[in-house]
Chain A
Amino acid sequence: MPITLETLHSELNLKLLTPESDLSREVTAGYCCDLLSWALAHGGTGGVAWVTVQTHMNVVAVATLLDMACVILPDNIDPEPDALQKANDESIAIFKAEQNAYALCGQMWAMGIGQANRS
């Protein structure tokens, strides 16, 4: 059965910050990085769940360019308001989590979410 944003939402106990997001979108891979150009080079294609502590608008720009499935902010951090607005405009789902980045990635891996295909 495919893993969707809804699956992540419930299994990882995430808080959805973009309530209008389509949670039926499939998550095909995970990625964790805070350098934007590095994420662009290695983030992979398609339905990637991206864990990052960056909270500004360019996170949404990168996620949009790569057609990512969602952005997950660890450590209960909040995105900047204009980033949230842009995420709503671009239909990019943003979650925040109590867990840190390491725990989130470990949990996603345990669910069967592997690394993204290299472009």
Chain B
Amino acid sequence: MSHEALHESYVVQAHNFASAGEVSASIKRLLRHIGIDFGVIRRVSIAAYEVELNLVIHSRGGRIDLEIIPPIEIGGETGWLHLTSTDVGPGIRDVDLAMQEGWSTATDDVRDLGFGAGMGLPNMRRNADSFEITSEYGVGTTIKMGFKIQ
């Protein structure tokens, strides 16, 4: 299926657990509406939820950008769906450590809610076709994920 080029941007508030998950739910609804493959929607939804919750739990606020680049625009049979998360800090001290399953800096209060399993970043990397994280402690974190679409 061919798709139109698309770019949406979503703001995620820090520490707002009441609305946590709404951005990823919106992204899932949008992808369903435009007819993206179900398996891709599932992987994007999981990655979007994890990155959204990371912004809620750990950041001082940020945004998630969704971009769809149809195959025709890059001269191939495969297009790409990009999810990019950017925040305004505080950044990650040790990215390699943060990428390890089970490692988390979440507080006990957050863990009591079932978050902070240390699975967020590994879940993102597992579900995306491409994954890139850059972080500067004291400045902020950017996560770029790519998903192949037909």
Cross-chain contact B123 with A65 (CB below 8 angstroms): no
Cross-chain contact A41 with B113 (CB below 8 angstroms): no
Cross-chain contact B123 with A41 (CB below 8 angstroms): yes
Q: With contacts defined as CB atoms under 8 Å apart, how many contacts are there between chain A and chain B in the complex? A: 72
Known: A40-B50, A56-B113, A82-B18. A35 touches B119 (CB 8 A): yes
Cross-chain contact A34 with B114 (CB below 8 angstroms): yes
Cross-chain contact B21 with A40 (CB below 8 angstroms): no
Q: Which secondary structure dominates where chain B touches chain A?
A: helix
Interface assignment of A36: CB less than 8 Å from any CB of chain B: yes
Interface residues on B, range: 20 to 34
Interface residues of A in 27-64 (CB under 8 A from B): 34-38, 40-41, 45, 52, 54, 56-62, 64
Interface assignment of B115: CB less than 8 Å from any CB of chain A: yes
Cross-chain contact A65 with B114 (CB below 8 angstroms): no
Interface assignment of B25: CB less than 8 Å from any CB of chain A: yes
**Distance to closest chain A CB from B21 (angstroms):** 3
Cross-chain contact B117 with A65 (CB below 8 angstroms): no
Beta-carbon nearest neighbor of B47 in chain A: A40
Cross-chain contact B114 with A40 (CB below 8 angstroms): no
Cross-chain contact B28 with A37 (CB below 8 angstroms): no
| Complexed CA–CA distance, A59 and B21 (Å) | 10
Taking a contact as CB atoms closer than 8 A, the residue among A37, A41, A60, A61 that contacts B24 in the complex is A61
Interface assignment of A119: CB less than 8 Å from any CB of chain B: yes
- The chain B residues found within 8 Å of chain A, CB to CB, are 17-18, 20-22, 24-25, 28, 42, 45-46, 49-50, 53, 113-115, 117-120, 122-123, 126
Which A-B residue pairs are the 5 nearest by beta carbons?
A61-B21, A37-B119, A35-B117, A37-B117, A36-B114
